[in-house]
Amino acid sequence: MKDFTKEVLFSRDAIQSRVQRLAEEISRDYHGKELLLIGVLNGVFMFFSDLVKYMDIPVKVDFVRLASYGSGTTSSGDVRVLKGIELSVAGRDVLVVEDIVDTGYTLDALIKIIKAKNADSVKVCALLDKSERRMVDVPIDYTGFTVEQGFVVGYGLDYDEQFRYFQDIYTLHEISV
Ligand code: IMP
């Protein structure tokens, strides 16, 4: 059986003020345009919702759910689409919204899918940029926080479907019992 200790990495207040500033920056950059936000489920649900609420430009929203074959807490390059994009992407300005970019495989695959659908532009907003295990060089245009190392949970992020509901983001330390 596994047990964990956890410590706060980003408090709910720090998260909210950072997300608000990200939304302001994105709203400024896309002023006069209508943006299509594509969220990557499931981990993005809290971040996505807060980001949209703080924005003050018209947006349309869609979601994808991707899975990559991998073991434990790391992913592999073999990405499968479990739920695809439903809205039309051709000729649109698209902003991909991710919870965390780790190896970069998921984001790399999604950017290729969106480009193949002839979007006008594709940019990326990630709440967390964890560069420790980056395998693919993916561009992140808007970053909330950088994380040096470790596994983080809360504010939508899970470990084995646990801890998504926390309002703060924690670093998780596994202990054997
Ligand atoms: P990537 O394809 O390796 O970049 O994986 C991105 C996905 O892996 C994220 O959308 C998360 O679902 C998951 N992930 C990677 N690192 C973490 C973490 O520290 N905590 C929770 N989920 C993570």
- Give the pLDDT confidence of 3-47 residue by residue, as tens digits: 889 999 999 999 999 999 999 999 999 999 999 999 999 999 999
Look up the pTM and report it: 0.93
At residue 70 the predicted structure's pLDDT band, cuts being 50, 70 and 90, is low
Give me the catalytic one of 13, 56, 99, 102: 102
Gap between the Cα atoms of 133 and 51, Å rounded: 26
Please tell me the distance between residue 106's alpha carbon and the centre of ligand 1 in angstroms: 9
* DSSP class per residue in 60-118: EEEEEEEEE--STT---S-EEEEE---S--TT-EEEEEEEEESSSHHHHHHHHHHHHTT
**Catalytic annotation present for 120:** no
Please tell me the distance between residue 57's alpha carbon and the centre of ligand 1 in angstroms: 29
- Show the domains of the chain with their CATH numbers: 12-148 (3.40.50.2020)
The answer on pLDDT for 135 being more than 80 is: yes
